């Protein structure tokens, strides 16, 4: 199921998802901007378990403990404003 930027209340904690999002490109070197080539932005895709979900964005964690405790590792916070698509991914 793919939902393009559904309200955050739709997405439940511990659901495994694919998130397509756009990241900024930063450059700290000196430039004269005489070249009209645009550096643009990076299209990104991240996979993970939803571990936090609120009006500001979504947190994905790549690793979930399976030894009885509910712990996560390797997390990324993605603001809603840069998300283009979220899809649930079925896993065993």
Q: For 41-61, what is the HEC assignment?
A: CEEEEEEEEEEEECCCEEEEE
Q: What was the pLDDT predicted at 32? A: 74
Helix (H, G, I), strand (E, B) or coil at 70: coil
Q: What was the pLDDT predicted at 39? A: 67
- Rounded Cα distance between 18 and 48, Å, is 7
- Rounded Cα distance between 15 and 42, Å, is 25
CATH architecture under which domain 2-24+39-88 falls: Roll (2.30)
Phi, then psi, of 34 in degrees rounded to 5: -75, -25
Give this prediction's pTM: 0.78
Task: Give me the residue spans of the domains in the chain.
Answer: 2-24+39-88
Percent of the chain residues past pLDDT 70, beyond the cut:
85
Higher pLDDT, 7 or 41: 41
């Amino acid at each position: 199921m793919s939902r393009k930027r559904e309200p955050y209340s739709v997405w439940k904690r511990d659901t495994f998802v694919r998130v397509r999002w756009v990241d900024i490109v930063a450059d700290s070197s000196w430039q004269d901007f005489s070249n009209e080539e645009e550096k643009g932005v990076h299209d990104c895709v991240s996979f993970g378990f939803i571990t936090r979900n609120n009006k500001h964005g979504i947190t994905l964690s790549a690793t979930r403990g399976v030894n009885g405790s509910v712990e996560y590792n390797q997390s990324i916070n993605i603001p809603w404003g840069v998300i283009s698509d979220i899809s649930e991914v079925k896993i065993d």
